[in-house]
Amino acid sequence: MFNKAKNKSAKVNECYVKIGDWISWSWELSEGLVSINEVKEFEELMKLLQFVRIKEEDDRWGWSGTTKGGFNVKMVREELEWAGADQVEYLRIWNNWDVPKVNVFIWRAGLGRLATSDNLQRRGVHMESYSCPVCGTTMESTDHLLVSCSFARVVWGQVCVWLNLPLVGNGGSIMELLHELVSSVKEEKRKKMVQAIGMLTSWCLWMNRNNKVFKRIAGSESKVIDEVKEISYMWLKYRVMMESVSWEMWCRGNLVV
């Protein structure tokens, strides 16, 4: 739809007409809707827009869980609890060894809110292919991409060898995998480190997928593993402030923390 819009830099307030308390969305297209898919996309867009309420004030960023628009961690927790009591224990992962964007990514993955092909298809978004962009063998879903995809299985296998842990990821969800990953670790600090590495591995698998989809860059399992080791080492040094661990010790899996 964006490609069809005549004025691509139009502001929101140039795209509707106010009729009393209601608004009617309206903007010029460079050409008419020619295919069934375009008509479907347009209808889908209108369905989404019917829930949008416009206020006569300047735009600002806000958190959807509150009318005040502010953000704090308590609100995230409340939203997680609202998401379902049976999932809360899995979803309540927030590991401060990882940067916030990785924590938010895991939270969204646990709620099934990543823009994977199965989710996009459910929302009526037309795509040339709904297959997993990494292996191409089945429809892409969060748990396929991060757990059961042949690419992900190799990566998890190598992570487990590196951390000297039993192999994880025999099917199931990404949250189950992360839970399984730390379940054999006894010491609390090491548990936290293993969890942080597990979350980071999931993030790197997602970035590998995005590079393939959006930049046509074919990654490799060893490249993802290298990224996990490098990024986690940087965090260890500069976020957790464990300066005594050398890069060689880290790569050897000498992970006594």
Q: Write down the least CB distance from residue 134 to Zn ion, Å.
A: 5
Binder of Zn ion out of 102, 109, 149, 168 (CB under 5 A): 149
Residue 30's contacts (CB-CB under 8 Å, 6 or more residues apart) are 4, 5, 6
76 part of the interface to Zn ion, by CB under 5 A: no
Q: Write down the least CB distance from residue 202 to Zn ion, Å.
A: 14
Binder of Zn ion out of 76, 93, 102, 132 (CB under 5 A): 132
194 part of the interface to Zn ion, by CB under 5 A: no
CA geometry: angle at 106 spanning 153 and 173, to 5°? Answer: 45
Q: Write down the least CB distance from residue 140 to Zn ion, Å.
A: 7
Closer to Zn ion at the Cβ: 120 or 135? 135
Q: Judge whether 46 and 25 are in contact, CB under 8 Å.
A: yes
Closer to Zn ion at the Cβ: 152 or 168? 152
134 part of the interface to Zn ion, by CB under 5 A: yes
Q: Which stretch binds Zn ion (CB under 5 A): 39-47, 66-74, 86-94, 144-152?
A: 144-152
224 part of the interface to Zn ion, by CB under 5 A: no
Distance CA 140, CA 220 (A): 18
Closest CA relative to residue 143, chosen from 116, 105, 180: 116
Closest CA relative to residue 182, chosen from 195, 169, 166: 195
146 part of the interface to Zn ion, by CB under 5 A: no
135 part of the interface to Zn ion, by CB under 5 A: yes
- Which residues face 132 on adjacent strands? none
Distance CA 91, CA 83 (A): 9
Using CB under 5 A, list all residues that contact Zn ion: 132, 134-135, 149
